[in-house]
Structure 1
Amino acid sequence: MADISVGVSGWRYASWRGDFYPPGLVQRRELEYVASRMTSVEMNGSFYSLQRPSTYLRMVEQTPDDFPIAVKGGRYITHLKRLVDVDTPLANFFASGVLALGHQLGPVLWQLPPNLPFDEERVGNFLGRLPRTTGEAADLAAGHDDKVPEDRSLVEAEVEGRVRHVLEVRHPSFSTDEAVSLLEHHDIGLVVADSPGLWPHLERATSDVMYVRLHGHTELYASGYAPRSLDRWADKVRGWHTEGLDVFVYFDNDARGRAPHDAVGLLDRLAH
């Protein structure tokens, strides 16, 4: 059976405290609270820097066994290296503790910068290097360098399973059949990115994952989603689920604290 997972992109935001988070809730219990109200979360700290195995282990300890955790790939790979010469950076990323999530590992999100146009060779070479099982990820992780010290690395997979990847594109040149076909060939999900007209909005199923990132209805990272808009998204999610796709939806409109409320609102609609 296909699954539907709904949550937020990140969870440590000061503006949520005393609003979505109850007054007095200690910071170390914020993820636990998110997991009590939602069905998944997207970790975005991994985009900015390499994490530690202990970080991922704490996430497992604070969430239910059936709570998938999507992980955002490092910007060093996507924005600085721009997908080129990334074997060691990929090894470092997977050695930094990702495998500690075990069966809770959700899709790995790779977000491309807006100034990176579609190049079939560049993108195809990158997609072809991505590990598709936790065993392959462990083998890749073993090639890490000293950016991930041995005492802060994890290069073994205790749980054998799939590693699924999704790609969020932000350059209009990806709005082509060629780009879609390349993702289909590599079995990589194409992210549905809802932004206020800034980036391509593509709703094409290129794998068995439909991954949605809602960045704000009218104002990037800030505006909330009106009830009618949430109704429409609920209808879309039900449709993709009926098609047999695993659907992951993450709200990223966190600047004014709307993300968690919108996530709960969408879940309420999907429950009825």
Structure 2
Amino acid sequence: MASGHIHVGVGGWSFAPWRGVFYPNDLPHARELDYASRHLTSIEINATFYRTQTPDIFSKWREATPSGFVFSVKAPRYAVTRPRLSDAIQSIQRFFDSGVLALEEKLGPVLWQFPATRAYDPDFVKGFLSALPSASGGRTIRHAIEARHDSFASPGFVALARAHQAAIVIAGDSDFPLIADITAPFVYARLMGTQARRRQGYDCARLDLWAERARRWARGADAEDLPHLAAHAPKTRARDVFLYVIRGAKVRNPAAAAALIERLRAIQK
């Protein structure tokens, strides 16, 4: 049975409490990305959310990671917090002009994280999605939308995302709206419930469950046990899956991601 690629990782790679837990104590800070990219299969870049980067920085990140590794990129907060659509559109354009395409083949989806203070406004969301480029510099661009206000739990939002082939982020184990409708040719999930008391962040049953969901998504099926607002997506061709362990007990997140990777590799054998 055909299956898409499943990319598993964490948010960022610089976090002091990971030293001695994930990173060896004697690892130079300059080699943290090199180390993380050889133990995980993806990383969600969050530095781009807070400040503009340059083509040289994106190129440096690309060169520091092995073949097959993929970054997702968290888009600038200015693009998702601006009250006026015209300002948001300008921020979107500035982001793509900043050099993100220098990641080349290692560029995965772009994550647009709407804040919890932004309620669902169909006109704004439609205009925002319409402004997202489907391609740039000859490269296809994939987009994921994370909605954190409860009002986004609407079939209308699902329909808009599906019409623009933008993935609604599946916010797992969190207080944010959990919308598991498949709206794009790929799936983007963020797990936010790791616990400090668990060495791998989650217990074995929970890790098994998320690994099985990722496997189903990758094979073109749906995770029918998660809440949907529209009809479940029919089985289709294989999809790529991007699964990030975010928030929760952050110190445990690399261990949780590594445990998921181990399970998925065991399934593939």
For structure 1, the residue ranges without an aligned partner over 5 or more in a row are 136-159
Give, in whole Å, the separation in 2 of the partners of 1:63 and 1:167.
Answer: 26
Q: Deviation per CA, 1:204-244, whole angstroms, max 9, x where unpaired?
A: 1001111011122469xxx9222211110011001111112
Give the direction of change, closer, same or farther, for the CA distance of 1:56–1:81 in structure 2 (3 Å limit).
Answer: farther
Which residue of the partner structure matches residue 214 of structure 2?
Answer: 237
The answer to whether the 8 Å contact 2:194/2:252 transfers is: no
CA RMSD in angstroms comes to 1.7
Amino acid at match of 2:90: T
Work out the CA distance in 2 between the residues paired with 1:82 and 1:53: 28
| Conserved? CA contact 2:9–2:244, under 8 Å | yes
- Are 1:181 and 2:181 counterparts? no
> Identity of aligned pairs, percent?
40
Residue 116 of structure 2: aligned partner: 114
- Relative to the length of structure 1, the TM-score reads 0.85
**Alignment match, 1:213:** 190
Query: Is 1:201 aligned to residue 178 of structure 2?
Result: yes
The residue aligned with 2:36 is 34
Q: 2:71 aligns with which of 69, 72, 91?
A: 69
The CA deviation at 1:82 is: 6.3
Q: Is 1:103–2:81 an aligned residue pair?
A: no
Deviation at 1:55, TM superposition (A): 1.5
Contact 1:10/1:41, CA 8 A, preserved across alignment: yes
Q: CA deviation at 1:162?
A: 0.7
2:251 is aligned with 1:257: yes
Are the structure 2 counterparts of residues 125 and 64 from structure 1 closer, same or farther at C-alpha, using a change threshold of 3 Å? same
63-72 vs 88-97, greater mean Cα deviation = 88-97
Report the secondary structure of 1:86's partner residue.
helix
Q: CA distance change for structure 1 residues 172 and 84 in 2, over 3 Å: closer, same or farther?
A: farther
Cα distance in 2 for residues equivalent to 1:245 and 1:105: 16
Selected match of 1:163 from 134, 137, 141: 141
Query: Is contact 1:77–1:83 with CA below 8 Å preserved after alignment?
Result: no
What secondary structure is seen at the aligned counterpart in 2 of 1:85? helix
CA contact (8 A) 2:144 2:166 kept: yes
Supply the distance in 1 between the matched residues of 2:191 and 2:51 (Cα, whole angstroms).
23
Structure 1 contact 84–122 (Cα < 8 Å) conserved: no
- Equivalence for 2:168: 190
For structure 2, the 5+ residue unaligned runs are: 221-237
Number of residues of Structure 1 aligned to a counterpart in Structure 2? 244
Superposition pairs of residues 34-53 of structure 1, within 5 angstroms: 34-53=36-55
The aligned residue for residue 157 of structure 1 is none
Q: Tell me how far apart the structure 2 counterparts of residues 66 and 28 of structure 1 sit (CA, whole Å).
A: 21
CA apart distance, 1:42: 0.6
Equivalent position amino acid for 1:166 in 2: A
Do 1:41 and 1:68's aligned partners in 2 also have CA atoms closer than 8 Å?
yes
The residue that corresponds to 2:90 in the other structure is 88
User: Partner amino acid for 1:24?
Assistant: D
Could you tell me which amino acid in structure 1 is paired with residue 262 of structure 2? D
Partner secondary structure for residue 242 of structure 2: strand
CA contact (8 A) 2:44 2:73 kept: yes
Alpha-carbon distance between aligned partners in 2 of 1:104 and 1:65, rounded to the nearest angstrom: 8
Deviations, residues 136-170 of structure 1 (Å, cap 9, x unaligned): xxxxxxxxxxxxxxxxxxxxxxxx32100000011
Distance 2:57 2:249 in 1: 24
Q: CA deviation at 1:253?
A: 3.0
Aligned to 2:140, what secondary structure does the other structure show?
coil
